[in-house]
Amino acid sequence: MIPLHWFLLVAAGLFSLGVYGVLARRNAVAILMSIELMLNAVNLNLVAFWRYMAPETLSGQAFAVFVFAVAAAEAAVGLALIISIYRNRETVVAEDINMLKW
Amino acid sequence: MNLPTLESINLAASLPVLILAGWACLLTAIDLFISPERKHWTAWLAVLGLLASGVALGFEAVAYSQRGAVSAFGDMAVVDGFALFLQGVFLLSAFLGILLALNYLPRHNIERGEYYTLLLFTTSGMMLMAMAADLIVVFLALELLSLPLYVLSGFAHPRLDSEEAAMKYFLLGAFASGFLVYGIALTYGGAGTTLLSGVVEALVGGGPAPNPVLAIVGMGLILVGLGFKVAAVPFHMWTPDVYQGAPTPVTAFMSVGAKAGGFAALLRVFLIAFPATGDTWGVVIAIIAALTMILGNVVAISQSNVKRMLAYSSIAHAGYVLVAVAAARYPEVEPLAVSAAVFYLLTYAVTNLGAFAIVIALERDDGTGVEVEDFAGLAKTRPWLAIAMTLFMLSLTGIPPSAGMVGKFFVFQAAVQASVGDPLILTVTIIGVLTSVISAFYYLRIPVMMYFRDGEGQANVQPALGVALALTALATFLLGVVPAPFLQMARHALLTLAG
Amino acid sequence: MDGLFSIVPLIILAPFTGVLINVFFGRKLMPRRDSVAPGVIASSMAGFSFLIAVLMFFALLANPAGAEVPVLTWINVGDGDFTLHIPWTLKVDTLSSVMMLVVTGVGTLIHIYAIGYMHGDIDEKAASRGLEGEEALDFKRRRYARFFAFFNLFLGSMLVLVTANNYLMMFVGWELVGLCSYLLIGFWFDSPEKNEAGQIIGVLNSSAGRKAFVVNRVGDFGMLLAIMLIFWSFGTLEFDDVFARAECMIEAPQAECLTLSAAELAPQGEGEAAAEEHGEGEARALTTPIALGPFAPTLGVVVTAITLLLLLGATGKSAQIPLFVWLPDAMAGPTPVSALIHAATMVTAGIYMITRSNVLYAMAPVSGMVVAVIGGATAFVAASIAVAQFDIKRVLAYSTISQLGFMIAAVGLGGYIAGIFHLATHAFFKALLFLGSGSVIHGMEHGHHHAHGQGEHHDAPHGEDERPFDPQDMRQMGGLRKHMPVTTWVYIIGALALAGIPPLAGFWSKDEILLDASLNSTLVYILLTVAAFFTAFYMGRQVFMVFYGSERTEAARHAQESPPVMTIPLIVLAGLSVVGGLINLPVGGLHPLGRWLEESVANAHIASFNILVATISTVLALVAIGLSYLLYGRKPLEEGEADPLYSTGPVFTFLNRKWYWDELYAAIFVRPYNRLGDFLANAVDWQFWHDFVHDRIIADAFQGWAAILSRPIDLGIVDGAVNGVAQLVESTSRSLRRVQTGYVRNYALAVLMGVVAILAYLAIRFLV
């Protein structure tokens, strides 16, 4: 069987990719996608832990399902916000949206 | 695998949350049938929901005083004094949040019924947060709390600043909750369970502890996620922008509700799940508290926009509560520190909502009128308003006779008790006292403006706002003068292990 | 029925609600000049309180033991050996219920009366200041609402006092009523009561208020010391616990009793057992040592000290020798105030307090005797002064002092029932007399205006020219019977009740006091009997001077009856003055009030009716009234005629000048104090401290030093340091502010940096 830490390493890599994406991408939609990447890394972790460490309870699996659901809700809210901004300012570049500062 | 029994779910215990969430769902549908010019009906219906939830909470409180804490949803939630006290604070804040919005929304031409339903949703999230005894519930409650707030921040669209605030809040909030949920996953891996009581067993070595290192890393990341919610340095940077851009009633509600929700989770997770590593997180939180108090108070000095100033003030106040959290890691100080923290949250809630109510009264229809200069001469034109604002500012500074003074007193008392043999907490306490002196600079600028500068301070106090103002001012004063009964309640706000 | 007790907080809440309403909305509630809304609100709040008091009465009928209803925890500090726990708990028992009924019942009537009276009074004041139109309306709005706010505040405060279950809460009420008294005496603080001639009549109102306040502070000081001493010796302030521990200490050492609480004792039958215990307790010398810091006085000494200090408090509030001088001046307040606060309720607080502390007084026979003698002496002195006064309200004021002396004497002799009985009946007839005098004053002012308005047509010279118009001067009245019939009849009823003519209320209660005195102390009995004789005389004199004979001024000739809103309360009070004696009728072993009070006053004993005492006092009263008829009734005073008592020469002057008490105090306290103040201010402070120490020594030396230091140091080091800190904070603030760039990804970076820092710390902690 594949050892647990392999899964963990893949998940950590995925998470780091997500974090990098949030910091490096300028497009708000891309930032949102990067955040989804982070959440998927979490799901990977959760399922792996469930399988290897506590297969007798359902909580890991159930948690993963909750994370899916929340991610979907987040995406819905986020895209709606981005669209409403786009209608107003004709841009989704995060750098252009900095009226509020200091 | 045990199937949950009806008894272990214990719906009755979580009735206040269920009523509120259920009513919010229903109200979303009902709102469709309320014509646009009658949206205040939605508001009163929402108040009805809060009232029903409050009644249920009252029954819970009575039941609690007789039989102590109970758990619900098979140990995933727990109804104890801590949860009940904070749930009361949330309901009160939500009620005031509705009062503040009642006239604000039509004046700014953004009266939509969703405001009230979203407010109910986020309040139910906060209440769930207060009783969460499982990391999954913590995560769910946090999202239930956050998602409506993202939308509410952008509620004044198409105003650009409101939309911008919503987007910033959303992106950063989602980013931070990514860390949080990653941390929870690692803790789950480290402890083999998501129950807070299970985590503690795994960490102290009683149960199978396959990998404590994972759990400790998880703990760090959970701290990040919750630190973001309470606006602790360095996770605070969203706060000023979002507070300034969001519609003022939302800012007011968010500044007390979301913060208290964050602290509810912070206190419970760290004191129940991670007491074994208290020496570690205690240090981290103490340092964060110091940075938060310094940064919040120092930067607030150079703000000219009152909403933004109050945002930094809100950061600073998070620092004071964090001092209590850090002090709570000593078991002998814990009861005092926890009750000091929740009492502080109560005092901060009434004071800050009052201060924002005044800001709302001054705000003009185009969103301007919230600069410090706009307060000039208010004492002549609106003497009562000026007195109330002075009281709120005194309370935020921590000067008697006001709620804030009592709150600060108890936090520092707990900190001083904890600082015996802990020079770090002692240092942080001293920093806390010094920074609260600094805070007088910017808080008292407003009374000075009102009383000693000439100007035609304009304000528009409509009935609902007046009621909110009267309630908050009275509460701020009473909590400062006769704090005993409320302290008594806060004393009972103790954390209980689930089950 | 016990559940009914839990609504008792409403009795206090209602008047305080009235205060808030009148403070915030009172002025808005008066759109027109004849609006009465503030008064109606205040009266209905008072009426509501009365309703609650009645409900409490019925609840007590069902369960005479009463209840303690906690409202909130006021003070809770300390742990271990030293704890101070002061709840705000309302005590409902038979004693406090009597007080509640009297305070709210009489209070409600006087509130209603004031609705009418204050209208006239304020209009009168507005006219005398030349205010008209909108200005007058505004003036009226402010004053009318303010009056009822204060009046309700008083009622609430008085109820705080009588429902307290511990000494400190009682003291809070005690101080609050003092404050209200001060505010209401000085209600016309800005009016020196000038007449047309520009002379100042009577005392400046604001200084009368100040006098009351200062004199009361002297008494309060004693009370406060007593409270501290009680807490020090007994470790608690709750009445029941204090008394339980004090009695326990008779038998057992102090330490054993300190944890005792009345609640634990309650199951044992209190009635007879407790009374027996007292009998023994009094006989014994109370020798248990009480630890007070370095001293260990015996229990007897401590209790005597406590009770004497409490007495000092009572002499202040209840206007007894030596602190009675404030009460006559307090008549500067509007008449309803005199009736409610300075006759019926507040001034009886001292009697209530002593009755409440009866267990302590029973243990200190010396104090009891002192109380009785002070009461008797006050009754006598004040009654004699009242004989020679001309101001209608001043006569009543001295009469009040004298009657309070009766009550104090009664409670001093252990006649608690008699004291409280007289307190209740006195509240009825003295309120009636004050309100009646208010009605007379109101009528006289009315008449004066009427006469004044038509003054041009009446060119016949009248007595007005000799003496400036004063609506309260009895010499300017006379014959009012014809103009004010209702007032006359109720006034006569009140006067007869006060004089102690059977079967009116005053007879029964005064007789019970005289009976107690005759059994316990001949000296006090004689003092009180003489006082009772004087009482009947001065009341006869007043009635004949005011209502009979012929009108001595134009004002009296045009006097008018008051409106029904004023006369109806008068009639109700007159009814109460007639039948009030029924509440403690001694016939056939009835004594309802006595049986009622026995439940809560441990040392109450019921006196039986003694026909001899009753006959003596009745005969004396009739003789006194007859004498007054001979002097004032048979041949009434004519315009400008002098009082027949002038023929007694120096005796009259002595009485008229009130035994020179004010002059005595001025000589002993006020003038030396002024001289001391003068000396301290001019000689010590100014010449010594300012001119010499400050200017010569400090300032010169400082200037010298400054000259030396300023040259090198004036380079900006010190200045810089002070300003530097502030500037540093500000510039830090400005630069930190710039970190907030507005770019969302920068914020995310900050979050990540936080993550890295925390994880790095954890890694160092656990891996290295």
Tokens describing residue C562: 């008051």
Residues in chain C with CB shorter than 8 Å from the CB of A31 are 744-745
CA distance A56 to chain C (A): 30
Q: How confident is the model at residue B175 (pLDDT cuts 50, 70, 90)?
A: very high
Which of B302, B305, B461, B479 should one mutate to test binding to chain C, selecting the residue with the greatest count of C CBs within 10 A? Answer: B302
> What is the per-residue pLDDT across C717-751, written as a single tens digit (0 to 9) for each?
555 666 677 777 788 888 888 878 888 888 888 99
Tokens describing residue C22: 């009148």
Residues in chain B with CB shorter than 8 Å from the CB of C750 are 234-235, 237
Q: Which residue has the higher pLDDT, C639 or C319?
A: C319
Tokens describing residue C233: 């010796």
- Tell me the C-alpha distance between B427 and B496, whole Å: 30
Comparing CB atoms, the residue among B171, B176, B295 nearest residue C744 is: B171
Residue C738, chain A, CB below 8 Å: the answer is yes
In this predicted structure, which of B75-89, B474-488, C703-717 has the lowest mean pLDDT? Answer: C703-717
Task: Give the chain C residue nearest B312 (alpha carbons).
Answer: C737
Q: Please, are residues B205 and B275 in contact by the beta-carbon 8 Å criterion?
A: no
Q: Is the pLDDT of residue C2 over 70?
A: no
Residues in chain A with CB shorter than 8 Å from the CB of B164 are 85, 97-100
> What is the per-residue pLDDT across C92-134, written as a single tens digit (0 to 9) for each?
999 999 999 999 999 999 999 999 889 888 888 888 778 888 8
How is chain B split into domains, by residue range?
Answer: 13-491
Mean pLDDT computed over every residue of chain C: 83
Question: C744–A100: do the CB atoms touch at under 8 Å?
Answer: no
Comparing CB atoms, the residue among C736, C747, C759 nearest residue B238 is: C747
Q: Is the pLDDT of residue B112 over 70?
A: yes
Question: C752–A23: do the CB atoms touch at under 8 Å?
Answer: yes
In this predicted structure, which of A63-67, C70-74, C397-401, C715-719 has the lowest mean pLDDT? Answer: C715-719
> What is the per-residue pLDDT across B475-499, written as a single tens digit (0 to 9) for each?
999 998 888 888 888 888 777 754 4
**Mean pLDDT along residues B322-330:** 93
Q: Among the residues of C454-563, which ranges form H helices? A: 485-499, 505-520, 522-547, 554-557
Q: How confident is the model at residue C713 (pLDDT cuts 50, 70, 90)?
A: low
Residues 6+ apart with CB under 8 A from B29: none
Which of A26, A44, A70 should one mutate to test binding to chain B, selecting the residue with the greatest count of B CBs within 10 A? Answer: A70
Question: B178–A100: do the CB atoms touch at under 8 Å?
Answer: no
Angle between helices B306-327 and B238-245 (to 10 degrees): 140
Burial of C375 by CB count in 10 Å (0-12 exposed, 13-18 middle, 19+ buried)? buried
Mean pLDDT computed over every residue of chain B: 89
Residues 6+ apart with CB under 8 A from C506: C425, C426, C429, C496, C497, C498, C499, C500, C577, C581
pLDDT at position B119: 95
pLDDT at position C461: 43
pLDDT at position B27: 94
> What sign has the CA pseudo-torsion C246, C249, C255, C257?
negative
DSSP C385-416: HHHT--BHHHHHHHHHHHHHHHHHHHHHTT-H
pLDDT at position C292: 77
Comparing CB atoms, the residue among C740, C745, C752 nearest residue A101 is: C740
- Tell me the C-alpha distance between C752 and B179, whole Å: 9
Question: C754–B227: do the CB atoms touch at under 8 Å?
Answer: yes
Query: Given a contact as 3+ CB pairs under 8 Å, which chains touch C?
Result: A, B
In a domain, A52, yes or no: yes
Tokens describing residue A2: 């594949």
Output the CA–CA distances (angstroms, integers) from residue C342 to C321, C330, C396, in the order listed. 16, 8, 10
Q: How confident is the model at residue C463 (pLDDT cuts 50, 70, 90)?
A: very low
Q: Please, are residues C145 and C27 in contact by the beta-carbon 8 Å criterion?
A: yes
Phi, psi of C81, deg, nearest 5: -70, -35
Question: B234–C762: do the CB atoms touch at under 8 Å?
Answer: no
Residue B158, chain A, CB below 8 Å: the answer is yes
In this predicted structure, which of B314-323, C290-299, C479-488 has the lowest mean pLDDT? Answer: C290-299
Tokens 């200041």 label which residue? C129
Question: A85–B164: do the CB atoms touch at under 8 Å?
Answer: yes
**Number of helices and strands in chain A (H, E):** 3, 0
In a domain, A42, yes or no: yes
Beta pairing, strands C67-77 & C84-92 = antiparallel
Burial C607-630 (b: 16+ CB within 10 A, else e): bebbeebbebbbebbeebbebbee
- Identify the three-state secondary structure at position C594: helix
> What is the per-residue pLDDT across B345-394, written as a single tens digit (0 to 9) for each?
999 999 999 999 999 999 888 778 889 888 988 888 888 999 999 999 99
ipTM greater than 0.90: yes
How is chain C split into domains, by residue range?
Answer: 1-165, 657-711, 716-768
> Which region holds residue B398: left if phi is over 0, alpha if psi is between -120 and 50, else beta?
left
DSSP H or E run through A43: helix A28-53
DSSP H or E run through C88: strand C84-92
Q: Please, are residues C303 and C246 in contact by the beta-carbon 8 Å criterion?
A: yes
Comparing CB atoms, the residue among B139, B184, B192 nearest residue A53 is: B192
Comparing CB atoms, the residue among A28, A31, A42 nearest residue B181 is: A42
Question: A74–B185: do the CB atoms touch at under 8 Å?
Answer: no
- Tell me the C-alpha distance between B167 and B180, whole Å: 20
DSSP C603-667: T--PPPP-HHHHHHHHHHHHHHHHHHIIIIISSPPPTTPPPGGGGGTHHHHHHHTGGGHHHHHII
Largest Cα–Cα separation, chain A: 54
- Tell me the C-alpha distance between B56 and B50, whole Å: 10
Tell me how far apart the terminal alpha carbons of chain A are, to the nearest angstrom. Answer: 54
Burial of C530 by CB count in 10 Å (0-12 exposed, 13-18 middle, 19+ buried)? middle
Beta pairing, strands C84-92 & B70-72 = unpaired
Q: Please, are residues B53 and B469 in contact by the beta-carbon 8 Å criterion?
A: no
Comparing CB atoms, the residue among C743, C748, C752 nearest residue A98 is: C743
Output the CA–CA distances (angstroms, integers) from residue C590 to B462, C49, C521, C705, in the order listed. 63, 29, 26, 88
Q: Among the residues of C521-608, which ranges form H helices? A: 522-547, 554-557, 564-579, 592-598
**Mean pLDDT along residues C196-207:** 62
Closest CA to C111 of C42, C176, C183, C17: C42
Q: How confident is the model at residue B210 (pLDDT cuts 50, 70, 90)?
A: low
Q: How confident is the model at residue C198 (pLDDT cuts 50, 70, 90)?
A: low
pLDDT at position C606: 76
Q: Which of B41-55, B68-82, C574-588, C719-733 has the highest mean pLDDT?
A: B41-55
Tokens describing residue C25: 């909305």
Output the CA–CA distances (angstroms, integers) from residue A89 to A25, B238, B288, C539, in the order listed. 19, 21, 37, 92
Residue A94, chain C, CB below 8 Å: the answer is yes
> What sign has the CA pseudo-torsion C28, C31, C33, C39?
negative
Phi, psi of C236, deg, nearest 5: -155, 165
Q: How confident is the model at residue B293 (pLDDT cuts 50, 70, 90)?
A: very high
Residues in chain A with CB shorter than 8 Å from the CB of C749 are 23
Residues in chain C with CB shorter than 8 Å from the CB of A98 are 741-744
For residue A58, give its domain range: 28-92
- Identify the three-state secondary structure at position C718: helix
Tokens 């360095």 label which residue? B234
**Residue B278: alpha-carbon gap to chain centroid:** 23
In a domain, A36, yes or no: yes
> What is the per-residue pLDDT across C333-357, written as a single tens digit (0 to 9) for each?
888 998 888 888 889 999 999 999 9
Which of B2, B182, B217 should one mutate to test binding to chain A, selecting the residue with the greatest count of A CBs within 10 A? Answer: B182
Q: Please, are residues C523 and C376 in contact by the beta-carbon 8 Å criterion?
A: yes
> What is the per-residue pLDDT across C358-417, written as a single tens digit (0 to 9) for each?
999 988 888 989 999 999 999 999 999 998 888 889 899 999 999 999 999 999 988 898
In a domain, A15, yes or no: no
In a domain, A74, yes or no: yes
Comparing CB atoms, the residue among C737, C742, C748 nearest residue A98 is: C742
DSSP H or E run through C86: strand C84-92
Comparing CB atoms, the residue among B176, B216, B235 nearest residue C766 is: B216
pLDDT at position B4: 65
Closest CA to A8 of A62, A56, A47, A61: A47
In a domain, A69, yes or no: yes
Angle between helices B278-301 and C717-739 (to 10 degrees): 110
Q: Which residue has the higher pLDDT, C229 or C608?
A: C229
Question: B302–C747: do the CB atoms touch at under 8 Å?
Answer: no
> What sign has the CA pseudo-torsion C538, C543, C546, C550?
negative
Question: B181–A18: do the CB atoms touch at under 8 Å?
Answer: no
CA distance B163 to chain C (A): 13
- Tell me the C-alpha distance between C768 and C755, whole Å: 19
Q: Please, are residues C158 and C175 in contact by the beta-carbon 8 Å criterion?
A: no
Q: Which of residues 22-51 of A touch C (CB under 8 A)?
A: 22-23, 26, 31
Query: Given a contact as 3+ CB pairs under 8 Å, which chains touch B?
Result: A, C
Residue C74, chain B, CB below 8 Å: the answer is yes
Task: Give the chain B residue nearest C745 (alpha carbons).
Answer: B172
- Tell me the C-alpha distance between C625 and C646, whole Å: 19
Residue B392, chain A, CB below 8 Å: the answer is no
Residues in chain B with CB shorter than 8 Å from the CB of C739 are 237
Structurally, how many domains does chain A consist of?
1
- Tell me the C-alpha distance between B92 and B123, whole Å: 10
pLDDT at position C309: 93
Tokens 């009234």 label which residue? C625
Residues in chain A with CB shorter than 8 Å from the CB of B136 are 59, 62-63, 66
| Rg value, chain C, Cα | 32
Comparing CB atoms, the residue among C72, C73, C751 nearest residue B175 is: C751
CA dihedral of C683, C689, C691, C697, whole degrees rounded to 10: 150
The residue length of chain B stands at 499
- Identify the three-state secondary structure at position B167: helix
Output the CA–CA distances (angstroms, integers) from residue B76 to B10, B87, B209, B359, in the order listed. 11, 17, 20, 40
Residues 6+ apart with CB under 8 A from C297: C289, C290, C305
